[in-house]
Structure 1
Amino acid sequence: MFKARLCRSYAFLLAAILLISTVGLGQSASAKFHVVAIAEAGGIHKPFVDAAKIWLAQESKIDGFTVDYIENTDLIDDAFLSRYQLFIQLNYPPYAWKPAAVEAFRRYIELGRGGWIGFHHATLLGEFDGYSMWPWFSSFMGGIRFTNYIPGFASATVKVEEPTHPVMKGVPTQFLVNDEEWYTWDKSPRPNVRVLASVDEHTYSPDSATRMGDHPVIWSNEHMKARNVYIFMGHHAELFQNPSFTTIFHNAILWAAHR
């Protein structure tokens, strides 16, 4: 009798541990797919990240996926990434990653083990905070290096270049983005990526001399097996009040996760 009760106790404890572990990882059995988002823990982009979490919570209920959040790369390895069909880089920069995370993420993208969506700070490519540039990530983003930005912000019109791409489904051919930083890079990534949208620098308000000429802001690197899309916009929380932005984000999630 005692052994039977002990076995039942161990079985109950094991079941409880498994349940807690599953909930903690967001791996609901009923979910259609699983997403991990690496997000900046604080700083000037925190309001955007916080708004993204609220929006993703609503979106996940509609489209049947789970989202787990991490704030550094400590956990990232092949086994960790194997749990997820989509990796979202919510303004987390491409430097200061742990060596194991660098290699696991590279394999995840090159081998198509999952999809990727990156926002804004993900193209902060160069020497920052004592870290050298990540050459592979620069290549992934079209071979670019960060050069400048508009610190006082400017509103501008974004023009859709690939209206038939799934990420652009239902998006107007032109839409306004208010008060964005509009990064510039040392060159346009266009020769190495598929540009989905670009900003019309002539519509900057207020005007700015910080220009590129050809200035893509949404693109996908089709040389990689993973479905991927970079979306430059991502500084202000108010973007989640912009239906064009949220439509692009929604479409990108489903497309990158093969849904």
Structure 2
Amino acid sequence: MKKQIEATFIVSFQILLLFAGLGLTAFAQPKKPQFRVVALAEKGGGVHAPFVAEAKKWLTHVAASANFTIDYIENTEPINDQFLAHYQLFIQLNYPPYRWTDTAKAAFQKYIIEGKGGGWVGFHHATLLGEFDGYPMWPWFSEFMGGIRYKNYIATFAKATVRVEAENHPCLKGVPATFTVEKEEWYTYDKSPRPNVNVLATVDESTYSPDSNLKMGGDHPVIWSNEHMKARNVYMFMGHHPDLFKNDAFVTVFRNAIFWGAGQ
């Protein structure tokens, strides 16, 4: 009788261990990602390479803590409808609005106009609109950015104050009314995009240090969203210097933009 009880106990214990093992295996399996992100950053990147390197480190940390995946591409060759359908957010981290394949242009336009796939966050180079490196301007992208054309930039950089206009926009949540950017080129355009976009923040040209004559006359948007498009989208002009990732306001806007753009 005693042996029977011992045998039953051993079998029961083995069963418990088996179920415990199964439970631990299931627990150890990674959770399904909340969403998927693709980021476009040109190979090499020239003077923008340090910004991209720092951005990748920061994005790796954010993706791990918030449970989303991020893939990187270095040109527009992979982009088509099927490719974009896998992602809920497209980050144009460092890539101008030229050197895109025709297939990529058509797929991206559809992605933004129809808004069925996901959102977009663009930086800096995305408003380098004009004729560059033998490429014509992409008219649709100019329309997307508010109908503007690139005009000039402060090549020697300037420190300046950014002023938030749309404090209630999700991308500006937790961002102070003003914040300082230590080093930036502050592109100027042939006109303000304001009539065609929702301006979220502007740079105060009177705070340029050192001062510069390359100004837009007071109305100089640097963060905006084109609400004529169905895809959630936000453009942030800042995106040249790696020290931006030491700027709490910048990283807060970037983080907010990721989750808002991805519909989270």
Fold match (TM-score > 0.5): yes
Alpha-carbon separation, structure 2, partners of 1:32 and 1:40: 26
Corresponding residue for residue 135 of structure 1 = 139
Alpha-carbon separation, structure 2, partners of 1:53 and 1:169: 23
Q: Aligned runs of 1:204-223 on 2, under 5 Å?
A: 204-213=208-217, 214-223=219-228
Corresponding residue for residue 245 of structure 1 = 250
Alpha-carbon separation, structure 1, partners of 2:228 and 2:113: 8
**1:31-87 CA deviation, whole Å, 9 max, x = no partner?**
000000000222010000000000000000121110000000000000000000000
Match status 1:122 vs 2:123: no
Corresponding residue for residue 230 of structure 1 = 235
Corresponding residue for residue 57 of structure 2 = 54
Corresponding residue for residue 19 of structure 2 = none
Alpha-carbon separation, structure 2, partners of 1:227 and 1:178: 29
Corresponding residue for residue 68 of structure 2 = 65
Corresponding residue for residue 30 of structure 1 = 32
Aligned amino acid, residue 228 of structure 1: N
Alpha-carbon separation, structure 2, partners of 1:30 and 1:162: 34
Corresponding residue for residue 199 of structure 2 = 195
Number of aligned positions between the proteins: 232
1:179 CA drift (Å): 1.1
Mark the runs of 5 or more structure 1 residues left unpaired by the alignment. Answer: 1-27
Secondary structure of 1:53's counterpart equals helix
Alpha-carbon separation, structure 2, partners of 1:232 and 1:62: 26
Secondary structure of 2:47's counterpart equals coil
Aligned amino acid, residue 118 of structure 1: G
Could you list the runs of 4 or more consecutive aligned residues of structure 1 that deviate by over 2 angstroms after TM superposition? none
Q: Aligned runs of 1:59-138 on 2, under 5 Å?
A: 59-112=62-115, 113-138=117-142
Q: Is the 8 A contact 1:40 1:49 kept in 2?
A: no
1:126 CA drift (Å): 0.1
Secondary structure of 2:87's counterpart equals coil
TM-score (norm 1): 0.89
1:122 CA drift (Å): 0.6
Alpha-carbon separation, structure 1, partners of 2:220 and 2:67: 35
Corresponding residue for residue 19 of structure 1 = none
Aligned amino acid, residue 105 of structure 1: F
Identity value in percent: 66
Corresponding residue for residue 41 of structure 1 = 43
1:154/1:50 Cα in 2 relative to 1: closer, same or farther (>3 Å)? Answer: same
Alpha-carbon separation, structure 2, partners of 1:196 and 1:68: 28
1:114 CA drift (Å): 1.0
Mark the runs of 5 or more structure 2 residues left unpaired by the alignment. Answer: 1-29
Alpha-carbon separation, structure 1, partners of 2:52 and 2:97: 17
Alpha-carbon separation, structure 2, partners of 1:167 and 1:145: 25
Alpha-carbon separation, structure 2, partners of 1:62 and 1:169: 19
Secondary structure of 1:105's counterpart equals helix
**1:84-130 CA deviation, whole Å, 9 max, x = no partner?**
00000012000010000000000000010210000000100000000
Alpha-carbon separation, structure 2, partners of 1:158 and 1:85: 29
Q: Is the 8 A contact 1:35 1:68 kept in 2?
A: yes
Alpha-carbon separation, structure 2, partners of 1:174 and 1:40: 31
Q: Which one has a bigger Cα radius of gyration? A: 2
Secondary structure of 2:135's counterpart equals coil
Corresponding residue for residue 23 of structure 1 = none
Report the aligned-residue RMSD.
0.8
1:197 CA drift (Å): 0.1
TM-score (norm 2): 0.87
